Structure 1
Amino acid sequence: MAYPSQPPAPPTMGSANTVFNTQVRFDPSYLKTSSGIIKVVLVVFSFIAFVCVQASAFWSNGRGVFFNFVAALAFLYSGGMLLLYMFHVVEKYHNVKWLKIEMIVSVIFVFLYLIVSTIAVAFGSPAFSAAGFFGYLSMALYGFDAFIKAKALKAGQLAQGHQTVSKQVHMVTPPALP
């Protein structure tokens, strides 16, 4: 009869505790995270794109109105989400599926910016071309943000708050020799 050279690994049991601070408070440290930086850049790009079209002589054209609608919507959404994260409102309402909502909205903005930027660049006006450039940059950032959110969803991460994991190891000892 052959005996294994290594004893089997002991079974492990673990538990995860999720800690939420439900107090609304201002915390600028979110601006140093990758998601915070993306949101700030998206706010800036959306604003610049909006101003480019608004400064054009053709701002009242249907293309300009549609572009400005999407840019203003993206500005308000990204700015609003930035404020919600900075004031920890996302952590306060942790039962809402924030990551899934952000991923879906980011994918929607990818398609919206693709459409309006292509329409703006095809118009031929220099101001519309500049707006289309910033629209394409925003499209790429929204796509990257959607990718980050999808990875976070798959990994089971939280939108805000922290999770502490503790493992307990149970050792099985052999009986004492006689």
Structure 2
Amino acid sequence: MIKIAVIILDLLGFICIQSSAFWSNGRGVYFSVVAHLGLWFSSILLLLYLFHIVEKYHKLKWLKIEMTAYGVIAFLYLIASTIVVAFGAAAYSAAGFFGYLAMVLYGYDAFLKYRAWRAGELAQGHRVPAKQMHVVTPPSLP
């Protein structure tokens, strides 16, 4: 659910920047790059979860990958939103608002992934550990 919310916020922030008269300003371009980074990463992960690819490749450290990526994206959104709000244009301020909301959600999701990783959980699905059985067979007769 958080992934869908951040995808929507990424799109709203990107649309606000692109609808501005100053869309080609360096601040707007940086915000657009950060929004696209978050949009593509979250969309790809959403598809991987929907088609249970994450569950199939459970040996990969999905929680660590997501935690790191979402932490980095949250930090990049902090920078991007601050510089577009400081510009002063109305569309930039709206994009900054959506960027700050996305930053909070990305940070919260990174925190949830951290807690799940520390608890030893899987990213998706359940894995039942196989019990190792030792079978003793009698010696063969001559």
Q: What residue number does 2:18 align with? A: 54
Matches within 5 A, 1:22-171: 37-164=1-128
1:3-34 CA-partner distances (Å, limit 9, x unpaired): xxxxxxxxxxxxxxxxxxxxxxxxxxxxxxxx
TM-score under structure 2 length normalisation? 0.89
More helix by share: 2
1:160 positional shift: 1.0
2:118 is matched by which residue type in structure 1? K
2:55 is matched by which residue type in structure 1? E
1:163 positional shift: 3.4
1:164 positional shift: 4.2
Any stretches of 5+ residues in structure 2 without a counterpart? 130-142
Any stretches of 5+ residues in structure 1 without a counterpart? 1-36, 166-178
1:112 positional shift: 0.1
2:10 is matched by which residue type in structure 1? S
Distance 1:133 1:82 in 2: 24
Distance 2:25 2:55 in 1: 42
Please give the root-mean-square deviation of Cα atoms over the aligned residues, in Å: 1.2
- Structure showing greater radius of gyration is 1
Q: What's the secondary structure of 2:60's corresponding residue?
A: coil
TM-score under structure 1 length normalisation? 0.71
User: What's the % identity of the aligned pairs?
Assistant: 59
1:35-64 CA-partner distances (Å, limit 9, x unpaired): xx1000000000000000000000000001
1:89 is matched by which residue type in structure 2? I
1:137-168 CA-partner distances (Å, limit 9, x unpaired): 00000110011001101110001121347xxx
| Bigger RCO (CA 8 Å, 6+ sep) | 1
Q: What's the secondary structure of 1:118's corresponding residue?
A: helix
More strand by share: 1
Q: What's the secondary structure of 2:127's corresponding residue?
A: strand
